[in-house]
Chains A and B, each alone.
Chain A
């Protein structure tokens, strides 16, 4: 299958917002346009967490929200406190029309490379939705390998409420996984660094070497 189903209208349709986007909170604006002008009514926002860390999986979420309802507080997961994320995670789980998760572990990250692993996680998240969406709004600039019309949205987590919701679900889930790994491998501080390469984490790597959940293809994991 060649280039999947990138919505051909998409790049021109929402380009004008790109610049203004960063400073605003996400809205349903794009979703509403897709509904009103193009007839889509199950629009999934898709985002992933954990591209950067040296350890742990990359986790993606696909979230379909009921358009038109009010979701106060939902924002890009990077702009929220951990406590706010936890609270909104519960709100999303309760009110979303569908939530799907996709998890790709460190072995696959090493064999695929992180970019393709992240795309795979997003594909799995879409497939894990209880009912398929009719349009996928994907954070970033890549298209995911599913035969559903889709549009990439740069800074999507700051522009689309559906993507922002997905970013929260992905981040909270990944953090929970890393806290669980902390129980098994306590010396790396996974409960605080979530696998990211903090100084304390790098020093532990130097002294104790990598665990099975470390990404061996990442620089700094295997000592030179």
Chain B
């Protein structure tokens, strides 16, 4: 039984970024419930629990100098897709009425030490 299949196409950079994001969230006292959770709409990068709130996290890793916030990389269309994946997660876990929010984490690998940009409640609710 393997519910979790690693996405072969996912880049190593992305994986490194998600690892950093995961450690960052654990450091904030959150519990990681799932990583690369697959749905038919795509993958949820991280699902965490912050107290009693379920948190769906999109991780954006950047290796090239660009301008703008990581949030800009999560287009409205991507936001809709993440929302749909979150609904799928809730359904599959049999979770009905839980508080949930969407966070975006930007990981900047262009400098020496990685810079982590955390945007809690980055976009609209379910």
A141: nearest residue on chain B (CB-CB)? B1
A42 to chain B, nearest CB (A): 10
C-alpha spacing A214/B36, complex, angstroms: 47
A10: nearest residue on chain B (CB-CB)? B4
A41: nearest residue on chain B (CB-CB)? B31
Q: B34 within 8 Å of A by Cβ?
A: yes
Which residues of B sit under 8 angstroms from A4, Cβ to Cβ? 93-94
Q: A8-B36, A8-B37 are in contact. Are A38 and B4 (CB under 8 A)?
A: no
B24 to chain A, nearest CB (A): 11
* Beyond known contacts A4-B93, A39-B48, A147-B93: 17 more, CB 8 A cutoff: A2-B91, A3-B3, A3-B92, A8-B4, A8-B34, A8-B35, A11-B1, A11-B2, A11-B3, A12-B4, A12-B6, A37-B32, A38-B26, A39-B25, A39-B31, A134-B49, A149-B34
Q: A6 within 8 Å of B by Cβ?
A: yes
Contact B23 A37 (CB under 8 A): yes
User: Contact residue range for chain A?
Assistant: 20 to 34
- Provide the main secondary structure of the chain B interface: mixed
Which residues of A sit under 8 angstroms from B94, Cβ to Cβ? 1-2, 4, 147
For the complex of A and B, 5 pairs with smallest distance between CB atoms? A1-B94, A8-B4, A39-B26, A39-B31, A38-B32
A220 to chain B, nearest CB (A): 31
Q: B60 within 8 Å of A by Cβ?
A: no
Q: B113 within 8 Å of A by Cβ?
A: no
What is the interface size of chain B, counting residues whose CB is below 8 A from a CB of the partner?
26
C-alpha spacing A11/B38, complex, angstroms: 14
Q: List 9 A-B contacts (CB under 8 A).
A: A2-B94, A8-B3, A10-B4, A11-B2, A12-B6, A37-B23, A40-B31, A147-B95, A149-B34
